A and B are shown apart, each in its own frame.
Chain A
Amino acid sequence: MNAQLEATPEPGAHPLAGTPMTGADIVVQVLADEGVGVVFGYSGGAILPVYDAVFRFNHEHPNADGSEPLPLIVPANEQGAGFMAQGYARASGKVGVALVTSGPGATNTVTPVRDAMADSIPIVVICGQVPTAAIGTDAFQEAPISNIMASCAKHVFLVTDAAQLEATLRTAFEIARTGRPGPVVIDIPKDVQNAPLVFAGEGQLAIPGYRARLRAIEDAELDEAACARFVDALAQAKRPLLYVGGGVVAAEATAALRTFAQALGIPVTTTLMGLGAADTTEALSLHMLGMHGTAFANYAVEDCDFVIAVGARFDDRVAGVPSQFAAGARFIAHLDVDPAEIHKVKRVDWHHLGDLSRALDALRRHAAARGFDPSGVGTWSDWHAHLADLKHTYAMAYDRANPRIQPYAVIEAINRLTRGEVIVSTGVGQHQMWAAQYFDFTQPRRWLTSGSMGTMGFGLPAAIGAQFARRDLLVVDIDGDASIRMNLGELETVTTYGLPVKVVVLNNCGDGMVRQWQKLFFKGRFSATDKSLHKKDFIKAAQADGFEYAVRLDRPEDVDRVVAEFIAFPGPAFLEVMIDPDAGVYPMVGPGMTYGQMITGDHIPSRAPAPAKEAGPSEMF
């Protein structure tokens, strides 16, 4: 910062309060104040003042070890910056930041912004905009970002009054991280970046409606009567089940959830977004439920008589047929922070809106005070025995004798070496589901996947962002040959910044997941999903982008050895695995099907014969 302290600030005030600064300097100072440790972004005309301010800030405030306090990480494409910010946010729980120019720079972030909204991930995207006077004139690199983003983001600000800039920035971080987290976009015209201002060091915008609703939820406590109704109903239950979603990860409620589940002896199944909320290696953990959930988890949903949904929203990948989801449950309880999710898909019998940890603790204490003892004589021992039996009988399985490399075996091999001590990111497709199914998840924020939007191209940039958040942890991107193509330019970003990210491409020569649906629902007409004649040499591509370790694995007998050397490689490493292109994702609860009609494939037993009818594909998704 070029500005000097002018006056002695009030005690407790920001040390720079009262300092003259440009709008751009204020942007950087608020980022620093918000604890932002890294910014992902791409420069351009309309954001140049802020880029210059970052440069000066880093030059004038080096860390003790000489490193930059606010490193700018430059992707190949702004979509990459958005997903890096997301990877950072998902792995750390902190707000991720992307900084891009106007027009094409900003529109390139629409996909990661929408993706962050759909998965409730806190990011702030700062966009340059053409000068205020030029807005609406079809100026060079102008796009109506506040309009475009308004329908994608949790909130968007267009700063037309420079005096509001500082408060707007702080408020953006507040909105991103509070309540149900999400993306906030700030569009800053270039003249506002250049405006001569005075830094206040404090102040937010008035957002009375938002804050009042937030406070009501944050302050909400479960009263005795509500606890009693819950515990009364639970005491009647013979087969209770916790259905846990990404909200538990977002709310940092993993510890409370695990204590609750353990104390009451209630088994847990999680959604794709909830993986890591429960330790999947524990006896009462059923791993993932839903469209590609484990057979034992889905059968447990069929068999349970009491559901406790925590930070989960009965979405169509879990409750494809809402009326049939957990149809045997006589009582469904729902805990969340978003009032709009209660009764949205499925009517529930009991709900609480508020802090998840406090609510779970209150319920647990109430149960304990009433002498509730799940391990007591016979309480749920039949249910526990039944689940142990389900886990044994309907365990995940695949063709181990197949002469081609099975993708499941590759993930198992990586998992044997990592055992939860790894951050896994993914693209979207079969490889994503295999990773979800075959990795152990022992801790939250170690599973980064585009759940709701299902955005191909997420895996590589998310891994990069995550590595910046967690320098201490191994980061592995399990990607698909089609997904990785979407943001392949970010391979070079990995080596540019010397990140020891491990990139795995499970190459089945095409859009495997789409082929699976074409096989099931379109009589095997593989319209536009086969890439076996494509020419890309992934190894050469990785080498060209500076990967010293770039290996193609195509013999099953080499899997363990090569995976071991790949994971042990100290720097960026790339592994392409030529997998069986016919490998499928099972179990599968097809669209419009109930859990009872789940297809378990050739290697996992099924409780019911697979339905013979071919699904009518038109309305299915």
Chain B
Amino acid sequence: MLKKIFKCICEIVIMTKAVIIYILKCEVFLEDVLVQMIAVGWKSVLIVFLSSFFIGMVLALQIGYASINFFSEPVFVATTLGFSLVMELSPVLTAIIITAKVGATITAELGAMKITEQLDALYTLGTNPIKYLAVSRFLACFFMLPILTVFSNVFGICGGMILSKSMWKITISTYFSEILSSITVKTFFHGFIKSFFFALIVVIISCYKGFNAGNNTKEVGKSTTNSVTYSMITIFIFDYFLTSLLVTLKIK
């Protein structure tokens, strides 16, 4: 068991190293990167919008009720909502959405290519799966996930605004001035930096699981499920350590 995990980690390190070397050597298929970016960004933006919008509303509702319990009126709604969204909820939520939507697709696609010998065909035609398939997916996820996280911040804040206005009668100008005072450059970067790491986690695990899917369709299915589960768990674990690190570095 331990030996297996160690072997996995070694293979992941080797794969990631190869990807980074190709990127540094600029051996990148730009067209494919663009296609992948659209696949990652465009296809997830609606889900990110819906989930973040409603999370924003739910937060505003919860915080409002909680503060009524304590202070008998809804105070600090925008402040609390602002930093909890930007620092924690948006990056994690977006990463989970990308895991489910993009990570699963990557694993299933690469796995299917493996069992139909398309990965072998890449070798015979003068390239290799890491260079031709992994690099573009790495770049696409690495740049799109943070962008989607920023979108998610915006959508969530908008959701919170609508609820605060209709339910708690907080004016839009008060809401935004509160938001702006609660979100500093550092709070923003706290979440933004985390989203880059989450992107790497998702894409590394899903590519690795795809390339190492077994030799039949059932195994590809299993790999896909595993890729999603492992990505999510790894995201939560890393979230804790990254948060501790960033807080120690005073990026909060």
- To the question of whether A and B form a pair in one complex, the answer is no
Residues in chain A within 8 A of chain B (CB atoms): none
Residues in chain B within 8 A of chain A (CB atoms): none
